[in-house]
Structure 1
Amino acid sequence: MLQLRDLPTPAILHKFAQRYPDADITAVVTFLHLLRTATDLSDALDACLQQHALLQGRWWVLILLMREVDGTAAPSALADKAGVSRATMTGLLDGLERDGLVERVLGNHDRRRVAIHLTAAGQARLDEVMPDYYQRVRRLMAPLGETDRKQFIQLLDRIQAGISELSGS
């Protein structure tokens, strides 16, 4: 994925606005800053997880399994919750199973049904990662007080509600 590292200057944005009169420059600047920050956050999370020999996609699968009462879920349910295709989930699960972090469990009544279970090794990996992750997130968010955080979430919810305007769906 291409990542914009060089945000446009006011002069460049003015040039664009002259050519495209519908451009709302402050909306574009805000959007680009949000997109850039989201990309930087994802990159930083990747770097954190790499220190624990995990990739972000695999980590999310482990988190989703840990959220389950018995640490078990259907691959299709995991794909839906992660927002990825079933084929992508299969690839993630193959790698996690190869590393011993999850196991495939065949159904008792229907051997074609497979569930994914978080292994003790998978839970141990999460127990190693999560304290570090929580400390880093605490330091990241420290400049924002509780009121700021609540307001920020409200603003993000309002942006989230308008995403269909960008995607056209």
Structure 2
Amino acid sequence: MRDAARRLSAQVGPFRRTLLNASRHEGELPTIPDAQIEVLRRLDEDGWASPTALGRSLGLARSTVSNLVAAVERDGLVERRLARGDGRSTEVGLTDLARERLRVYDAAAERVLLRALAGLPDADRAALAAALPVLARLQAAIAEPDGV
């Protein structure tokens, strides 16, 4: 298992970067740092959130979230508003531009993956499909080591 753990760890980052770069190229999208994409993805899933809640959900320090939010706001990907029910704090949410870029990226990633999968033998495609639930459980076990 130790060898499998090392190999999986060594493969995940390069796979993610390769898919990200190929999908950006396919979708003709600008380069956005991974950390900013994580902020956009979280907001896409959760909707409007305070920077504090965003940082908590991503496991990031307040100053890091502040810098990330400022960068994506500067690029027109998020906007701020006063928090509902609390006029003293703000929350951030996706702009239409961010939603469109995420949609384009997702469609491009699907095309990239489908092309690559089509070139694999049937047994490899079946093995990947069977591994997806295992990867989801592995991710949950890493995120919550005592809960799984």
TM-score (norm: length of structure 2): 0.71
Matched, 1:120 2:115: no
Compare relative contact order (CA 8 Å, sep 6+) and give the higher one, 1 or 2. Answer: 2
1: CA distance, partners of 2:93 / 2:77: 9
1: CA distance, partners of 2:40 / 2:128: 27
- SS of the residue corresponding to residue 113 of structure 1 reads strand
Unaligned runs of at least 5 residues, structure 1:
1-26, 165-169
Unaligned runs of at least 5 residues, structure 2:
144-148
1: CA distance, partners of 2:74 / 2:68: 10
- Match in the other structure for 2:15: 41
Per-residue CA deviation, residues 26-48 of structure 1 (Å, 9 max, x unaligned), is x3321221111112123214424
Structure 1 residues 42 and 74, CA, compared in 2 at 3 Å: closer, same or farther? same
Count of residue pairs the alignment pairs up: 136
2:131 aligned to which of 152, 155, 160: 152
Matched, 1:137 2:113: yes
Identity %: 27
1:63 aligned to which of 16, 29, 41: 41
2: CA distance, partners of 1:78 / 1:36: 28
Give the CA deviation at 1:67: 2.0
Give the CA deviation at 1:118: 0.8
Deviates more, 1:77-86 or 1:99-108: 77-86
Aligned-pair Cα RMSD in Å: 2.9
The 5 A counterparts of 1:65-84 are: 65-68=43-46, 71-84=47-60
Q: Is the 8 A contact 2:20 2:109 kept in 1?
A: no
- Which residue identity does 2:88 align to in structure 1? R
2: CA distance, partners of 1:137 / 1:94: 32
Deviates more, 1:80-89 or 1:150-159: 150-159
Structure 1 residues 163 and 108, CA, compared in 2 at 3 Å: closer, same or farther? closer
Moved over 6 A (4+): none
Structure 1 residues 57 and 160, CA, compared in 2 at 3 Å: closer, same or farther? closer
Q: Is the 8 A contact 2:23 2:108 kept in 1?
A: no
Q: Is the 8 A contact 2:35 2:68 kept in 1?
A: yes
